[in-house]
């Protein structure tokens, strides 16, 4: 039997868990995170409530399964992203900390089961084996951020340590995909091997964060994220796990990747100048676009590769948020980045939230928040995508990731307002 203190939380228990005593009116005082800043935005109330209380559940082995929403599987990337807004609460609440530790324990078991899989069932069966480099990065990122906030070393179990080792081994192999990798997938070109590449120092990926097959196998924003996360992994290996060999391996991989990004990742584009491409092959071919799913070019400052004020990022951002990006759509009710994963003219709330998170312009942020509000059909949920000309036309009624990211946005804006 699952202990009551780690069970899925009832409404009454949630109020107590977050430090709210007595009878409160839903929507007037609803907790946000450990510093007790609140918001009455109905989109936020739903987003923050549902990520933990609707999509997360404790399984019989004590681990936490976090579904992606209306698809019955747990994506490694999505599960970490959905849990991120709760990390600060974990520093002060044992029940939330237990849930997040359980998620890391499950992610480690999944990676050890198959490091090339991106999604798993509750029974640890592989739901999809689309090799997406970011699927291995998000659990490391989440573990590093959780540890930084809480100082809780109990997450670093033997399973997690072995998962870290396997992540490093897999990424190193995929630096040399043609020579070392046995991975094949029927959706990829060249009999499942993917398009031809040359060694660049970057890590080969079969699929994008959207789960679509890559056109060229070196995804630039994914490799930027990989460089950041491998630096973090190196620090964890040195400071917590005491493994200097693995630390040096992770740091060296981070440097290899960054050099590859900076050597092969740029294109020169009329009007915009020198910007980052979305995908390259190291042979001179580049795919110039951006996709709503994260890591994206738009999200570069969010995951810490460059600051939002960096000139290369600003040039790239200008391209991403323009009609020159083939997946930037302008409609009657919204404009923003979409994806080849969904129909033409469908904007993703995930990208709208990211645009706001990475903007330094308050008028732009307010405009984007207006687009997000226009997509609310009364269920107070952010969907996967919606028609910019007819928001009642949308994909996926239940998609956890953009709602969690929106909760982060509201939290960050509230804290920024408090600190002037």
What pLDDT does 39 receive?
Answer: 65
Residues in the chain, how many? 420
Q: Within the chain, what is the greatest distance between any pair of CA atoms?
A: 65
Burial 152-164 (b: 16+ CB within 10 A, else e): eeebbeebbbebb
What pLDDT does 227 receive?
Answer: 98
What pLDDT does 414 receive?
Answer: 86
What pLDDT does 380 receive?
Answer: 93
What pLDDT does 184 receive?
Answer: 98
14: how many CB neighbours lie within 10 A of its CB? 16
Q: Are 316 and 276 in contact (CB under 8 A)?
A: yes
What pLDDT does 52 receive?
Answer: 77
pLDDT over 70 percentage in the chain: 90
275: how many CB neighbours lie within 10 A of its CB? 22
pTM: 0.91
- Domains of the chain in start order, with CATH, are 4-418 (1.50.10.10)
End-to-end Cα distance, the chain: 48
What pLDDT does 415 receive?
Answer: 84
DSSP 40-75: --HHHHHHHHHHHHTTEEE-TTS-EEE--BSSSSEE
- Regions of the chain with pLDDT less than 70: 1-39, 420
């Amino acid at each position: 039997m699952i202990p009551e203190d780690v069970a899925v939380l009832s409404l009454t228990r949630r109020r107590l868990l977050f430090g709210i005593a007595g009878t409160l009116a839903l929507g007037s005082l609803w907790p946000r995170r450990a510093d007790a800043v609140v918001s009455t935005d109905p989109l936020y109330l739903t987003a923050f409530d549902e990520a933990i209380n609707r999509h997360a559940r404790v399984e019989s082995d004590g681990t936490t399964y976090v579904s992606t929403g209306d698809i019955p599987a747990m994506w490694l990337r999505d599960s970490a992203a959905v849990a991120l807004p709760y990390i600060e609460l974990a520093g002060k609440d044992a029940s939330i900390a237990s849930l997040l530790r359980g998620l890391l324990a499950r992610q480690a078991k999944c990676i050890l089961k198959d490091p090339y899989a991106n999604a798993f069932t509750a029974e640890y069966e592989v739901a999809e084996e689309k090799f997406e480099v970011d699927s291995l990065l998000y659990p490391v990122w989440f573990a590093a951020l959780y540890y930084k906030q809480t100082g809780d070393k109990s997450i670093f179990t033997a399973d997690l340590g072995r998962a870290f080792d396997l992540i490093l081994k897999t990424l190193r192999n995929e630096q040399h995909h043609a020579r070392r990798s046995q991975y094949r997938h029927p959706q990829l070109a060249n009999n499942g091997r993917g398009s031809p590449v040359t060694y660049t120092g970057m890590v080969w990926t079969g699929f994008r964060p959207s789960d679509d097959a890559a056109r060229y196998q070196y995804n630039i924003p994914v490799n930027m994220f990989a460089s950041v996360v491998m630096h973090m992994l190196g620090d964890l290996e040195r400071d917590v796990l005491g493994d200097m060999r693995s630390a040096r391996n992770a740091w060296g991989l981070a440097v290899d990747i960054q050099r590859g990004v900076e050597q092969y990742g740029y294109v020169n584009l009329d009007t915009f100048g020198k910007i980052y491409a979305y995908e390259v092959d190291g042979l001179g071919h580049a795919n110039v676009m951006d996709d709503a799913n994260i890591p994206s070019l738009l999200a570069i400052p969010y995951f810490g590769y460059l600051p939002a004020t960096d000139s290369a990022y600003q040039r790239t951002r200008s391209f991403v948020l323009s009609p020159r990006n083939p997946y930037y759509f302008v409609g009657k009710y919204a404009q923003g980045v979409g994806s080849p994963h969904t129909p033409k003219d469908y904007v993703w709330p995930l990208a709208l939230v990211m645009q706001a998170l990475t903007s330094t312009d308050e008028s732009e942020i307010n405009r984007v928040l207006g687009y997000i509000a226009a997509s609310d059909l009364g269920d107070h949920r952010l969907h996967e995508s919606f028609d910019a000309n007819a928001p009642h036309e949308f994909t996926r009624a239940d998609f956890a990731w953009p709602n969690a990211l929106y909760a982060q946005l509201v939290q960050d804006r509230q804290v920024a307002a408090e600190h002037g």
